[in-house]
DNA sequence: CCGTATCCCCCCAGATACTG
DNA sequence: CAGTATCTGGGGGGATACGG
């Protein structure tokens, strides 16, 4: 038990340059995943890439999302300051969602991720097939 | 309704380069999240950033992970070809996990994400506080 | 040390119905 | 059109005990 918890100050100092970055990133990544790692959040953000989109259109564009989850996801994103909501006093009612400044900064890493997924999906599929057909 | 749905063929053609990519990315992102979007996967990948790590050390470095989930996560990563497992015929037994070539390519987008999270966590916290303290 | 096997709880998300 | 309210199940994941 002491092995993992008890470290000398020297150890900690040494770790600072090489390893604690990973650990800190681990913590932050943890938070990140708790907020963005769910089933729909990144999808919704992706759909707002090109500008404001209204609720119903969003529901159409994100295949399979339920009203409940769309609402919940948008509320959370709004709370986190990544998405802004603008409702128009019209009839029929119209509500548009768009990325905030902060939300747009998320776009780049998110698309980087998506790019990786597209470039790697073949390799992964192949790797999986190879793994499954081993004895 | 027409505002958002009805677009001229020219518009659609123009969107081809900028927007349908989003939709396809949505699909791919979907798969991505199904595989990497769980609670532990990216954390484990992050811990392998600097080279091979053995099972028990991994368990120590990923705070709060259970043996069960660590094993499951590693198995899945191995199946996907992102992590390779090497066991040494020693006593006591020793098993080391490391990123494959493919796994290392994931590192860049993942760390990009982590970087964003670190740079943005303050903003998000602030936004959340502002949102919660509104009437 | 490195896992596997089993049990079980919690909560996420889907379905459905209803309001402004 | 743009949500809210409520019920429900399925599965992710923790705890624990055991095996190689």
Pairing relation of β-strands A94-99 and A83-88? antiparallel
- With contact defined as beta carbons under 8 Å apart, do A32 and B113 qualify? yes
Chain B nearest C-alpha distance from A68 (Å): 19
Sign of CA dihedral A98, A100, A105, A106: negative
* pLDDT value, residue B23: 61
Tell me if chain A has a CB within 8 Å of the CB of B47.
Answer: yes
For residue A95, give the H/E element and its range: strand A94-99
- Closest residue of chain A to B5, computed from CA coordinates: A57
Nucleotides in chain D with any atom closer than 7 Å to protein CB: 1-6, 12-17, 20
* Of residues B29, B116, B130, nearest to A105 (C-beta): B116
Q: pLDDT, tens digit, for every residue of A65-103?
A: 999 999 999 999 999 999 999 999 999 999 999 999 999
Distances (CA, A) of A89 to A86, A93, A96, B22, B131: 10, 6, 12, 30, 22
- Is the bond preceding residue B45 a cis peptide, omega within 30 degrees? no
- Least confident among A16-30, A45-59, B119-133: A16-30
Alpha-carbon separation of residue A114 from A49, A107, A134 (angstroms): 13, 10, 30
Higher pLDDT, A1 or A33: A33
All residues of chain B having their beta carbon less than 8 Å from the beta carbon of residue A105 are 116, 119-120
> pTM score > 0.75 for this model?
yes
Mean pLDDT, residues B87-106 taken together: 96
User: CA geometry: angle at A38 spanning B19 and B44, to 5°?
Assistant: 110
């Amino acid at each position: 038990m002491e092995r993992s918890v008890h470290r000398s100050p020297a150890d900690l100092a040494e770790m600072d340059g090489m390893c604690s970055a990973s650990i800190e990133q681990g913590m932050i990544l943890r938070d990140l995943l708790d907020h963005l790692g769910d089933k729909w959040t990144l999808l919704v953000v992706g759909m707002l890439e090109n500008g404001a989109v209204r609720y119903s259109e969003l529901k159409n564009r994100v295949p399979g999302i339920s009203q409940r989850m769309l609402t919940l996801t948008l509320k959370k994103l709004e709370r986190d300051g990544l998405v802004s909501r603008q409702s128009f006093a019209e009839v029929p009612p119209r509500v548009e969602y768009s990325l905030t400044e902060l939300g747009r900064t998320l776009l780049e890493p998110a698309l980087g991720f998506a790019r990786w997924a597209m470039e790697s999906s073949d390799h992964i599929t192949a790797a999986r097939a190879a793994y499954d057909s081993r004895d």
